[in-house]
Amino acid sequence: MILNLPPIILASKSPRRHELLKLMGLDFSVVLKDVDESYPDGLSPIDVALFIAEKKASAFDETINKEIVITADTIVCINEKIIGKPKNKEHAFEILSSLSGKKHEVITAVGLLKDHQLYSFYEVSEVYFKNLTSEQIHHYISTGQPMDKAGAYGVQEWIGLIGIEKINGSYHNVVGLPTHRLYQELYNLSIGK
């Protein structure tokens, strides 16, 4: 199933999402809008991710013509508690220490806007970290890589390579985009489902 799609706008500055769409063989342009990512109290982590991804997509509703807009929001949580991006190196250490030796969930919600219709979906992956030593955590933080990522790590980076024992669910979802599901949803849009 090869996609026959109108122009695609990716509303994300994430280099990881850019790379994944390129690897999927999709042509796209990147357009960014400032969107307030706050959300109502009391939402579950899945609902938070969906709320933000949909909010990002809705920001394009009045400016698109035939394009498809792709937005995404990735949330890391442990025991239903959302773990955001680290505020500083000490916070990064605290986050990574809390993930050490435990299972956590990565939720990526995707918003698709086409013909002023909003479609959204999400995927959940379970990630299992081995016990990390303080030395390993400090080494990773010294690279600066954790600072712009939810959960303070990138699965494709050093800490992921040496620390993640297994993943239940989509690996690419943990990177930041559930590519297999996105491809299917884009295909459904292309045939008018």
User: What's the rounded mean pLDDT across residues 96-114?
Assistant: 97
> Is residue 66 one of the residues assigned to a domain?
yes
Q: Which of 54-58, 69-73, 103-107, 148-152 has the lowest mean pLDDT?
A: 148-152
pTM comes to 0.92
| Beta-strand runs (E) in 67-129 | 68-78, 81-83, 103-114, 117-129
Residue 63 lies in a domain: yes
Question: Does 3 map to a domain?
Answer: no
| Cβ proximity of 167 and 134 under 8 Å | no
Q: What confidence category does residue 190 fall into, taking pLDDT thresholds of 50, 70 and 90? A: confident
Does any domain span residue 2?
A: no
Residue 177 lies in a domain: yes
Does residue 132 belong to any structural domain of this protein? yes
% residues pLDDT > 70 (the chain): 98
Measured torsion, CA atoms of residues 138, 148, 173, 101, in degrees rounded to the nearest 10: 20
28 has pLDDT over 90: yes
The answer to whether residue 49 is domain-embedded is yes
Query: What is residue 192's predicted lDDT score, i.e. its pLDDT?
Result: 75
The residue annotated as part of the active site, out of 41, 47, 73, 148, is: 73
CATH code at position 70: 3.90.950.10
Q: Where do we find the tokens 């792709």?
A: 70
Number of separate domains in the chain: 1
Please indicate, yes or no, if residue 1 is contained in any of the structural domains. no
pLDDT tens readout for residues 70-97: 999 999 999 999 998 999 999 999 999 9
Is 73 in the active site? yes
Check if the beta carbon of residue 30 is closer than 8 Å to that of residue 69: no
Contact assessment for residue 124 and residue 107, using Cβ atoms and an 8 Å cutoff: yes
- By residue range, what is the domain housing residue 173? 8-190
List, for residues 32-66, the tens digit of each pLDDT value: 999 998 999 999 999 999 999 999 999 999 888 88
Dihedral angle over CA of 129, 134, 140, 144, nearest 10: 120
